[in-house]
Amino acid sequence: MIKNIRLYAIAAVVSLLAVTTTAKGQQSWKNIQSISELFDAYPALVQEVFEPFDLDYPGLESVKMAYEKGDWVIAAEALLRYYRVSENARELARDIPTPSAVMDAEADTLLNYVFTIQNVRGAVPLGADGHRDWYYKGPNNDREWAWLSNRHTQLARVMNVYFETGNVKYARFVDEFLKDFILKSMPYPAEKGNESIWRGLEVAARAKVWTRVFYGMSNSTHLSDATRLLILRSLPDHAHYNRSFHGGNNWLTMEISALSTIAAYFPELQDSGAWLDYSIDAMVASMRDQVYPDGVQTELASHYHNVSLHNFELFKEICEKAGRSLPAYFENTIRDMYRYIAHAVRPDGHRILNNDGDRGSDRELILAGARKYQAADWEYIATNGLRGSIPAGGPSFFFPWAGQLISRNGYGPHAHWSFFDVGPWGSGHQHNDKLHLSIAAYGRDLLVDAGRFAYTGAVAEKFRPYALSSAGHNLLLLDGKGQGRGPTHAQNPLTEEDVVITEDFDFAYGMFDSFLDLEGEASHARSMMYVRDHFWVVVDRVFTDRPRTVEALWHWHPDCDPLIDGNRIQTNNSFGNLTIVPVGPSGWRIDQVRGQEDPVIQGWYSPEYNVYGPNTTSIYQMPISENSQFVWVLVPSEKPGVAASAAISESTEEAIKLEVEVAGDRWVLTIPQKGTDGVGILRR
């Protein structure tokens, strides 16, 4: 095996000279099929293939013999023969399909190097050297487009279509694609990078795809010997990168699972054992660092929670294949991560939209976890009670380390559901959104998070600051200023002093006191009570050292067209509605904006990356001269026009008493000024 970066750099120089000085290789690389043709065009590249291998490994005797004689072509051919009969990955090998002319429209688009990346379609251009421009950033000049196109998920898609249809044009595309990319990607820089090809996540993703291609097409003559050898030449570079330059958090799970993939499926490489040892130590340590005891990944973004979960599972499977054991903690944590997504899921099967997440469906993932862990209660939640057994806890759930309260009144498709965030900022992909509240009811999203929009490119330049800011969330702005950074990790779990769940109600309290560029000192405390089956109450308290202007923001799902009715806001949907009833001081100025770009971005919603559109934001604005308190009653209803009223009957330093009447039913709520001590409810 190449033992250090210095030797890698020497090999890279040799490859560079071979690739850039051999005119024959530049002009006819597409026609290279055999090992001898590859050696004629790129002799140094073929010689480098053997450096990482343990040629004393059982079965490589003929490879070693030819290698020691300097018979490079014979040695390479012997190496490929070894892999054709190897037992390494018999489960990945696929039977040759019956030839046909059946076509697949989506795959045919990919054959033209037209890729749709995060909902943006672009064609990778052909360069003057005959290779595709793998640094192409898509039509929006977005680095994310280049990065994701270089993960090669599209390659896996085309290979699957080949096996489904038997049409050889798809297999030939796989061969050309890999040959083009590997030759163009050389030399391997052997340093941490951030450009289109050699960045950790892309390196990791390719290693997994290429492994499936290498073994999956082991019986197919349409993946040429030249391309097979190029894969063997490049995969050790990928392993070296993931071993030497991996990141943390969900990056580590992806990169280390790739390192272990190469180690487990190519045990003939000299460093495979050491890579597996390192992978186990790194992954177990990372799991302890990035997953809270309540099963929530510390970035606190639903999308990246699932990314980490997938890669932890993949790593466990790889270790089982390699005969390596993991501590029981590893399996238990995977189960807890499933438990979280099962208990947090919306009634329609979609996950929380929070931080850099997308509003995707988790239903099938939850059902897979339920089958794996025989968790009938998860199945019950994911199927809206059609199968499985009702959870012993709930229907509301609290995750004390993540600081997330999921409130429900049941598990049916029309159930009430809310997400209230009183936790830490997060260890990555954070938005400034502590104390944000999202609400869904009667099969409809009502109050929403703005989403993530995009990370780079034109969409990000316009909307990314809004996505990250408090202005894109259901929060208060003080003098137009939103929240700044918070603590990245929870040091201790929240307790009953912060959150209480009873049969009749859920209650949570949190505070935030760090506002960006705000003059003087101020803090925002928010209490949230969900009265089960009926309504939500939000109590906002502003503590300030000077007069300020307060703005309360309520962001609606794009399908909602809320109307102003006096000092309240109410929707007029055919089903699934919400009425916001302010309680207390009058004098609110109420504005509604939708798709605003000037003077500031406001009223936009992004359910997934690069997908966005206008939504309505209701803005309540009021000047205050001192510490102030604002109360909101949020009443869901299937049909519009619910009758609701509320009033504060008593206010002391310890608590307020709030009288609420909805559709003829009356309650008296006791809401403490701080924490949860004394909270209560009385129905009259």
Does a structural domain hold residue 107? no
Cα(464)–Cα(488) distance, rounded to whole angstroms? 20
Question: What SS3 state is found at 270?
Answer: coil
What one-letter code names the amino acid at 158? V
Across 106-186, where does the E strand assignment appear?
A: 114-117, 120-123
Residue 471: per-residue pLDDT: 98
Residues 6+ apart with CB under 8 A from 383: 367
Find the CATH number of the domain harbouring 561: 2.70.98.70
- pLDDT tens-digit series, residues 247-295: 988 899 999 999 999 999 999 999 999 999 999 999 999 999 999 999 9
**Do residues 345 and 381 lie in contact, with contact meaning Cβ atoms separated by under 8 Å?**
yes
Confidence of residue 51 (pLDDT cuts 50, 70, 90): very high
Does a structural domain hold residue 305? no
**Do residues 457 and 445 lie in contact, with contact meaning Cβ atoms separated by under 8 Å?**
no
Residues 6+ apart with CB under 8 A from 121: 114, 115, 139
Omega within 30 of 0 (cis) for the link into 599 = yes
Provide the H-helix boundaries in 421-519.
458-468
Confidence of residue 598 (pLDDT cuts 50, 70, 90): very high
Does a structural domain hold residue 81? no
Among residues 302, 293, 505, the alpha carbon closest in space to that of 396 is found at 505
Residues 6+ apart with CB under 8 A from 436: 354, 419, 420, 421, 449, 473, 474, 475
Mean pLDDT of 217-234: 96
Does a structural domain hold residue 439? yes
The DSSP result for 623-661, as a single string, is EESS-EEEEEEEEEESSS---EEEEEEEE-SSEEEEEEE
Residues 6+ apart with CB under 8 A from 42: 15, 18, 19, 22, 25, 183
Query: Would the CA dihedral through 596, 597, 598, 599 be positive or negative?
Result: positive
For 384, other C-beta atoms within 10 Å of its C-beta total 17
Q: What percent of the chain has pLDDT over 90?
A: 93
Among residues 518, 629, 528, the alpha carbon closest in space to that of 584 is found at 629
Number of domains in the chain: 1
| Contacts made by residues 20-25, CB under 8 angstroms, sequence distance 24+ | 25/183
Does a structural domain hold residue 350? no
Residue 28: per-residue pLDDT: 83
Confidence of residue 316 (pLDDT cuts 50, 70, 90): very high
| First-to-final CA distance of the chain | 78
Among residues 616, 621, 598, 630, the alpha carbon closest in space to that of 480 is found at 621
- pLDDT tens-digit series, residues 154-207: 999 999 999 999 999 999 999 999 999 999 999 999 999 999 999 999 999 999
Please determine, for residue 26, whether its predicted confidence score (pLDDT) is greater than 60: no
Does a structural domain hold residue 469? yes
Compute the residue count for the chain. 684
Mean pLDDT of the chain: 94
**Do residues 434 and 512 lie in contact, with contact meaning Cβ atoms separated by under 8 Å?**
yes
Please determine, for residue 440, whether its predicted confidence score (pLDDT) is greater than 80: yes
Does a structural domain hold residue 37? no
Among residues 188, 102, 108, 115, the alpha carbon closest in space to that of 147 is found at 115
What's the whole-model pTM score? 0.89
Omega within 30 of 0 (cis) for the link into 585 = no
Confidence of residue 590 (pLDDT cuts 50, 70, 90): very high
Compute the radius of gyration of the chain from its Cα atoms.
29
Range of the domain at 608: 394-633
Mean pLDDT of 358-377: 97
Residue 481: per-residue pLDDT: 98
Residue 89: per-residue pLDDT: 87
- pLDDT tens-digit series, residues 627-669: 999 999 999 999 998 999 999 999 999 999 999 999 999 999 9
Does a structural domain hold residue 139? no
How remote is the C-alpha of 656 from its chain's centroid?
A: 41
Residues 6+ apart with CB under 8 A from 152: 181, 205, 206, 209, 210
